[in-house]
Amino acid sequence: MNDFITRYSYGGDEFIFVEMSEDMNLEVNFQAMAITEKLKKKNIPGVLDICPSNASYMVRYNPDELAADDLINELKQLESSVENLDDVVINSRLVDVPVLFEDPWTHEAVMQFRDRHQDPESTDIEYAARINGYDSKEEFIEAITGSPFLVSMIGFVPGLPFCFQIVPREKQIEVPKYVRPRTFTPERCFGFGGGFSVVYPVQGAGGYQMFGISATPVFDKEQKLPDFQESMVFPRQGDIFRYRSVSREEYDAIREQVEAGTFEYRKKEFQFKPDDVLKDPDAFSQEVLRRLYND
């Protein structure tokens, strides 16, 4: 149960920042998702942009058309309308995301920055497995791939999906970020920081633990691939990603399809209610896997 009292803050003359919780949990994320979706559908004159996040959201508005306090009152009414989430339905996609764990390119980056890591004597995945109580890297990878992840927000850089695993709270994987940020992270690196997994859309700096590399892009500036025709960013808030461990041979085959411009994600349209997840996350996860691979 979230006992946090929502904070509404003014951000200069054009922004309202709404903090719904100090920590991320699925219930709060669903509430923020529902509020921002309802706000979008209301199409209120003066609302310019809506930016949902993990446990908060921000609204940009035109103060010449809409008073800040009027907007806050509207947001409070929307919050009240989604308190129990009973009438909330989330339009989602189930997506298979193939990941090559401990790939040579990410491993090279891992070894390059050991001086910035909590445990310079181990790799990122060895360290993460140990502090989460797993006896081996293999068991740890099974825990990551065994249950799907909810795309809780898009951000940091364009197209980066923050993903929160759909498991009971006691099973959540958590790892700290690097002690000092790296100056290099490979494109499509599969990383983990705090309770979130990510796929880095482009090469750049970073601080999350690096476990492997996605065979598939989440960002396509040229929009050459079929999945990117409507947007250069593939992930959407509310999507459910299943990270699937693949061999080097399958990874190379997928990369050939990507380079040829023919690759399409294995995906299925999916609707669900937050209560389906919150009541029994394990059962929901198994239903997701069944629908994605067997239906």
Q: What is the pTM of this model?
A: 0.93
Answer whether 240's CB lies under 8 Å from 60's CB: no
Axis crossing angle, helix 26-42 with helix 68-81, rounded to the nearest 10:
120
Where do the domains of the chain lie? 7-84, 91-293
Where would I find the beta strands (DSSP E) of the chain? 7-11, 15-19, 47-52, 56-61, 90-101, 149-154, 161-165, 182-185, 189-193, 196-199, 204-206, 209-214, 240-245, 267-272
pLDDT at position 44 is: 95
Answer whether 8's CB lies under 8 Å from 76's CB: yes
pLDDT at position 24 is: 85
3.40.50.2000, 2.40.100.10, 3.90.420.10, 2.40.160.20: CATH of 91-293:
2.40.100.10
Reading the chain (295 residues) residue by residue, the pLDDT tens digits are 457 889 999 999 999 999 999 888 899 999 999 999 999 999 999 999 999 999 999 999 999 999 999 999 999 999 999 888 888 899 999 999 999 999 999 999 999 999 999 999 999 999 999 999 999 999 999 999 999 999 999 988 888 999 999 999 899 999 999 999 999 999 999 999 999 999 999 999 999 999 999 999 999 999 999 999 999 999 999 999 999 999 999 999 999 999 999 999 999 999 999 999 999 999 999 999 999 998 6
pLDDT at position 156 is: 80
Q: In CATH terms, are 7-84 and 91-293 the same topology?
A: no
CATH architecture type of domain 7-84: 2-Layer Sandwich (3.30)
Answer whether 50's CB lies under 8 Å from 15's CB: no
End-to-end, the C-alpha distance of the chain in Å comes to 34
pLDDT at position 295 is: 65
